Amino acid sequence: MPLHYTYTPSPLGDLLLAGQGETLSFIGFPEGKARMRHQDVWLPDDKAFREAKQQLRAYFAGELLQFDLPLAPVGTPFQQQVWQALQSIPYGQTRSYGDIAAQVGKPLASRAVGAANGRNPLPIVIPCHRVIGASGSLTGFGGGLEAKSLLLRLEQRHAPFRLES
């Protein structure tokens, strides 16, 4: 069954949304090393992914803290495990690659976590932008470091107040 696709505007430029039915398989950036355009065999459908478009608009407006969408990312079992861990990082917070490696039970695998993070087919919704270097520095991001910085600043600006314990 061929994938359907559409584009939706965002502060990062037009994002590619692709998948089957309302289930997202890909979000593509307009810029950066993970720049992605639709493939010729995919079917254009401007009416596709209405809920995803609505949630992305709300996210960029600072009104949505967590996505609730049907997702179908394709990857290895380890990649799937990392992507699941990424979804547990709270809005407005960050974790290091080492933190995620420890969370998935492979504390020495921070480089492998970085590689899995870089292959995330659903950036923003699976928040790989919330993973930073151990020193707190911004490190690689498929949409480019400027996009990563924009997403983190957006979340920090709209994150709910929380007391540190």
**C-beta neighbour count of 128 within 10 angstroms:** 27
Tokens 């307009």 label which residue?
30
So which residues are the catalytic ones? Answer: 128
Half-sphere exposure of 1 (CA within 13 A, CB side): 7
Query: Distance between CA atoms of 156 and 13, rounded to whole angstroms?
Result: 21
Burial of 161 (0-12, 13-18, 19+ CB in 10 A): exposed
Tokens 């609505």 label which residue?
54
Question: Helix or strand or coil: residue 44?
Answer: strand
Query: Distance between CA atoms of 152 and 101, rounded to whole angstroms?
Result: 21
Angle, nearest 10°, between helix axes 77-86 and 110-118?
A: 90
Cross-strand pairs, 28: 16
